[in-house]
Structure 1
């Protein structure tokens, strides 16, 4: 239960200005400005655009903020993996927790109220130390942000995966395309997730090979086994280099299996295509084909200043802007991918400035979606379950 909060003068996504009454974690009333009675605590949002709070459907909190600690890898995926594994050998539980907390704080300040992070099985004598750090952090921050954790591995022993799930991980992850046996990795993942009653979130087809099979194998396994848990496939880069007819066919198979796809433009634009200096492919999945097929599409920030991506600011508006520029989505489609689309992937109820919706909201200084995506103003107000959890105000002096 939260105390009532009255938001005054916010600009809605459609352009009108409204007042909103938030109570018990929900948006109770939306009304013309000045028509709701005073009484609750009030927050003036004049000059702000009010949106559903973003969710981050694909983060790597255990890797975050290590770029300056690992040296400078060449920039391709295999080199990034090697650089991370070398650093991870000396990363202890406290190191993971400290960096993950800083990255999470940045996400919240930018408007995120729910995060799904992958947690690596780490090298060394204590391979679950990173998972333990994130599990503790998940409990510490639950009052201001929801955290889900997926166990990420490549061909880890089954007993280790069982131990990770028994510790409280929310989902089982993996990278079938990096496995010695991609088909076997998919089958094991579906079987183990069904046994433990958890969802699946796999890194799929993170390459520019149109023959890569992860997404097709996953769709077939889910339907054949009648798997009923939530299933997510991240990256799916190879879909973007298939012939249009084949991409459409795979997208339809994905939709029939009810597999959600998370596109990750910032990292994939940086990692993919470096061996093709002429007509370099964009390294994104086929977002339009997926939307046309009815696939639930979300977008995430993926890596933040780690060996896989030296830049990034943990900002869903950055992700959405890239989907407009590189993915050719409209601004409303791109914002949907980081808000309602991302919440759908995380299995969360609808949020936004609408009566009856969960009161997870982001107010950004600006008058339109185009302005908000173009400027990514740091002036932001973040509300989770009807409670203010972050406010950033910037003072600019021009002389």
Structure 2
């Protein structure tokens, strides 16, 4: 990756919308000003014009649930393959050796890969560590957010277990973390830890983003979470929610009503949960993805993210919202349009970000992908991409492919041997 200054963009020419229409788009600063049929006059604004013939444009990707402090640690840790418990044990053993600059380097590399794919907003959890310096990861990610200001928006969530003191949460929030997070379903007393985290967020008047019901069976914390935050004025989200994939339809419908009433956004994380869940199943291995289609139909706000990238919780990952969308289609049974919405406008919605996309009045956070259609973009995920954040060109990837030409070779035929009499 090479570094260049962001460039203000006045217009995009010849770009295709997901509807199939080919249009020109005028931008005015960080806002989409006009969308007109290709070749029509556009209002004059300041900036450069990009010819995007052959590209499809959508709202930029948004990553609603990342772990940048853990990302790309797989090679250093060399963890065993396995379930959530093994992943936690592997990470905690490594975390005692964590270095702030090394953490920053891994996190920066992952964030820039996300930016190149078209993700301009990231909400990342950061572990509150055990030991004498619990804020190593917090300091690293605050530095990263400052470094990348103007290129992408980064929001931080303090991720602390039940043994992390309230004072450490307070110190993280004082250091610049934005929201309270945790995984109460993993605590010995899940409801007590849930109540503590909610009380922390209320006392500090910040939002909540909780890992919730991250197992196929076990503690039911999501219903209690919903009842506790109904009517609250701060953003609240629930990540993972894989237990919901195992619920009978009638039970899920009742829970969905409570989630909708509480205005909790549900974030599915297909790649990590496909990896972590189901290791104990000898057959009929469950997919373990929060049932976004049914939740969406019930009026729940939904989104999806990649979660972990090449760390003990997920050994793979491409830092690409189109990878997440593809998994939602093939493993989550969403239509491509719904899958794309979950990783763009839906993700921005649950993150509390302004509406973005190729719509007049929307924030000019856009990604253009070389593709003939939305299905083409999700299926092939071309790396040819142009990324705009607040109306400025912040990343462009151009792929060059050379394929050897077929050479016509002379055909040699064997003539039949003359018949001979014996």
TM over 0.5: yes
Pairwise CA distance, 1:3: 4.3
Q: Which residue is equivalent to 2:196?
A: 188
CA contact (8 A) 1:88 1:122 kept: yes
Report which stretch shifted further, 40-49 or 358-367. 40-49
> Is 1:345 matched with 2:350?
yes
Q: How does 1:1-399 map to 2 (within 5 A)?
A: 3-37=8-42, 40-155=47-162, 156-209=164-217, 211-223=218-230, 226-399=231-404
Describe the SS at the equivalent of 1:233: strand
Answer yes or no: is the 8 Å Cα contact 1:150–1:169 preserved in 2. yes
Shift of 1:175: 0.3
Match of 2:409 in 1: none
Q: C-alpha distance in 2, partners of 1:222/1:297?
A: 17
TM-score (norm: length of structure 2): 0.92
Q: Return the alpha-carbon distance in structure 1 between the equivalents of residues 244 and 137 of structure 2.
A: 31
TM-score (norm 1): 0.97
Q: Cα distance 1:134–1:281, how it changes in 2: closer, same or farther (>3 A)? A: same
> If you compute each CA radius of gyration, which structure gives the higher value, 1 or 2?
2
- Cα distance in 2 for residues equivalent to 1:72 and 1:277: 22
For structure 2, list consecutive stretches of 5 or more residues without a partner in the other structure: 1-5, 405-422
Residue deviations 1:193-225, cap 9 Å, x none? 11111100000010010x5311111012113xx
Is residue 302–residue 342 contact of structure 2 (8 Å, CA) maintained in 1? yes
After TM superposition, the runs of 4+ consecutive aligned structure 1 residues lying more than 6 A away are none
Please tell me the root mean square deviation across aligned C-alpha atoms, in Å.
Answer: 1.4
Q: Which runs of 5+ in 1 are unaligned?
A: none
- Would you say the 8 A contact 1:237–1:284 is kept in 2? yes
How many matched pairs?
A: 396
DSSP-derived class of the 2:97 partner: coil
1:251–1:295 Cα contact (<8 Å) kept: yes
Tell me the CA shift for residue 36 of structure 1. Answer: 2.5
